[in-house]
A and B are shown apart, each in its own frame.
Chain A
Amino acid sequence: MLEVDDIHVYRGRTYVLKGISLRVTRGEIVALIGANGAGKTTTLRTISGLLHPRRGHIRYRPEADGPELELDRLPAEEIVRRGISHCPEGRGIFASLTVRENLLVGAYLRRDNRGIEDDYRRVCDLFPILGQRAGQAAGSLSGGEQEMLAVGRALMSRPRLLILDEPSLGLGPLVVETLFATLADINRRGVTILLVEQNAVMALELAHRAYVLETGRVTLSGSGEELAADPEVRRAYLGGA
């Protein structure tokens, strides 16, 4: 579905991604793990068109039997239009808009009002708290609720591929547990997920496959269980012996 082929990305003058390649197959959950500064967020932002690679290609096939697109030169809004939704690091909720308004901004590129209302109800089923707080200013939600709002908002564009940047950031273990269960649920309903996580234990448990990034390169990849069992990964990211 998505194929990142040897991308090199600079942020300003800093050479951040030194040739990253990875692939996401339809229906999968793929995790990127790695230390701070490894280039995880940069990878996600390059895929969703917020940054552009100096070299390399990103190929994306929205429909299983449809044509393939080159994403690396498209502006962000065109990429959203083609079914990739990015839920940014730190949530980025719009604090003075209500919960409902936040979700509606997520459907900004859509014009099918009935479909938008259906998806609004679906998101409220997925995260009941959002329905209960629909008229409240989003800034008054707790951290966990804000993350749910950010995920729900990303779903409002009806993505085929959902990109999540550190969904567990700053959340308590119980909330993370619920959130990840919902992500698995979203995935079962047919949305492919690519996520970046500091919380490697949870990420490897959830993901079908994962990549380990170190200073702008992929150093390891494999299934979630494989990586969780790998002595290197255990030492570096899972805090285990």
Chain B
Amino acid sequence: MTAERRNTAALRFVLPAAAAFVLAYVLQTVLDDYVMSIVNFVGINIILAVSLNITNGMTGLFSLGHPGFMAIGGYVTAILTLPAARKAMFLPDLPAWLAGLQAPFVPALVVGGLCAAATALVIGLPVLRLKGHYLAVATMGFLIIVQVLITNWDSVTRGPLGLNGLADLTTVWQVLPWVLLTLYVSWKVKFSSLGRTMIAVREDELAAQCLGVNLFFTRVLSLALGAFFAGVAGGLWAHLVTAITPSSFSLIMAFNIVVMVVVGGSGSITGSLLAAVLFTVLTEAFRPLEEHYGLYGIGEILMALVLILILIYRPGGMLGTREPRFLVDDDG
């Protein structure tokens, strides 16, 4: 790659990133807090969809465990940022080293993400020997195990009551950099040897193996990478909603994120991003309709309908595996 081309590649990222910051500033000044929180949800959903796209989309591991990783990241972040006084009140049985600890938000998010990624490495060892439907069921089992653990581990999680009154630390200035980082990392991965390998494993694992690809290593890495960003998203989510309970991270949520990836196009970063934006905005748009006419659940029904139609008429999703031409180097 020549220096010149490297510059244009950098520009392709720097310009949209700068534009996003300007946009965030404008939105922040124009919109009220409620609409701004929706903007933040859009950002969190982008992180979720783009990171699941690494696992489900590029490597083809049908994982329903994403909310499980969010829950781990969310709880870890929440416990780390909770002031010592509140910890004494909520979680009197916390180990001493943790009870006295209060971390700033960003390091807490990073630790939350790392905990989620470490969990992915551990569960990956047994679970990633499975394929297809079996893997989906196993990751669903993982999600349920996480929920059960959180519900019963009173001394650390406060059980079914959850942790409420968390500080509202999640602003657009926290969300946006993480969105950009997620996009940047997954873009870099996709157009590297690792990303090609992931797609190769998805498309034909026997052939990939014949070429010297270590299937297991590739799969574990892609699960852990997705899990890291899911953990961070969980932390952002917890401090946006300012409360976190074991039922916050449900199978429905797993379904919703999978829908975003499938609708966007499995493997397409741009597709996941667009689908996450569309999905979040539409769900919010349906809310007044639901309340006004008492048609609760109409949003979900329409979403499911959209999914079915996409699977029938455009099974590759909006963008397939590719990215829009103007964003990609000519030699791919």
- B204→A105 contact, CB < 8 A: no
Closest to B267 in A: A96
| The one of B200, B206, B267, B322 that contacts A105, using a Cβ cutoff of 8 Å | B200
- A-contact 0/1 string along B96-112, CB 8 Å cutoff: 00000000000000000
Report if A160 contacts B (CB, 8 A). Answer: no
- A105→B210 contact, CB < 8 A: no
- A98→B332 contact, CB < 8 A: yes
Report if B2 contacts A (CB, 8 A). Answer: no
Q: Which of A61-77 contact B (CB under 8 A)?
A: 75-77
Closest to B214 in A: A77
Q: Hey, which chain B residues are within 8 Å of A153, CB to CB?
A: 211
Measured between alpha carbons, how far is A101 from B190 in the docked complex, in Å? 11
- Of the listed residues B212, B214, B267, the one surrounded by the most CB atoms of chain A closer than 10 A to its CB is B212
- B-contact 0/1 string along A106-126, CB 8 Å cutoff: 101100000000000000000
Closest to B330 in A: A135
Measured between alpha carbons, how far is A97 from B196 in the docked complex, in Å? 8
| The one of B211, B322, B332 that contacts A108, using a Cβ cutoff of 8 Å | B211
Say how far B230's CB is from chain A's closest CB, in angstroms.
24
Q: Hey, which chain A residues are within 8 Å of B210, CB to CB?
A: 48, 50, 76, 80, 85-88, 92, 154
- A-contact 0/1 string along B185-212, CB 8 Å cutoff: 0000000010011011001101111111
Measured between alpha carbons, how far is A105 from B210 in the docked complex, in Å? 11
Say how far A130's CB is from chain B's closest CB, in angstroms.
14
Report if B213 contacts A (CB, 8 A). Answer: yes
- A105→B197 contact, CB < 8 A: yes
Q: Hey, which chain A residues are within 8 Å of B214, CB to CB?
A: 75, 77
Measured between alpha carbons, how far is A108 from B218 in the docked complex, in Å? 12
Q: Hey, which chain A residues are within 8 Å of B207, CB to CB?
A: 88, 91-94, 150
- Chain A residues touching B, range: 20 to 34
- B212→A95 contact, CB < 8 A: no
Q: Hey, which chain A residues are within 8 Å of B267, CB to CB?
A: 96
- A96→B320 contact, CB < 8 A: yes
- B196→A135 contact, CB < 8 A: no
Measured between alpha carbons, how far is A77 from B322 in the docked complex, in Å? 28
Measured between alpha carbons, how far is A77 from B193 in the docked complex, in Å? 15
Q: Hey, which chain B residues are within 8 Å of A43, CB to CB?
A: none
Q: Hey, which chain A residues are within 8 Å of B321, CB to CB?
A: 96
Report if A169 contacts B (CB, 8 A). Answer: no
**Given A50-B210, A77-B212, A105-B197 in contact, is the A93-B320 Cβ separation under 8 Å?**
no
Q: Hey, which chain B residues are within 8 Å of A91, CB to CB?
A: 207
Report if A104 contacts B (CB, 8 A). Answer: yes
Report if B331 contacts A (CB, 8 A). Answer: yes
Q: Hey, which chain B residues are within 8 Å of A100, CB to CB?
A: 331-332
- A80→B204 contact, CB < 8 A: no
Closest to A98 in B: B332
Closest to B209 in A: A76
**Given A94-B203, A96-B320 in contact, is the A157-B196 Cβ separation under 8 Å?**
no
**Given A101-B332, A104-B193, A135-B332 in contact, is the A94-B212 Cβ separation under 8 Å?**
no
Across the A-B interface, the 6 shortest Cβ-Cβ residue pairs: A92-B207, A80-B212, A92-B204, A96-B321, A86-B210, A94-B203
**A positions within 8 Å CB-CB of B:** 48, 50, 75-77, 79-81, 85-88, 91-98, 100-101, 104-106, 108-109, 134-135, 137, 150, 153-154, 157
Inter-chain pairs besides A109-B211, A157-B211, 18 sampled, C-beta below 8 Å: A50-B209, A76-B209, A76-B210, A79-B212, A80-B211, A85-B210, A91-B207, A94-B200, A94-B203, A94-B204, A96-B267, A98-B332, A105-B208, A108-B193, A108-B211, A109-B212, A135-B331, A137-B322
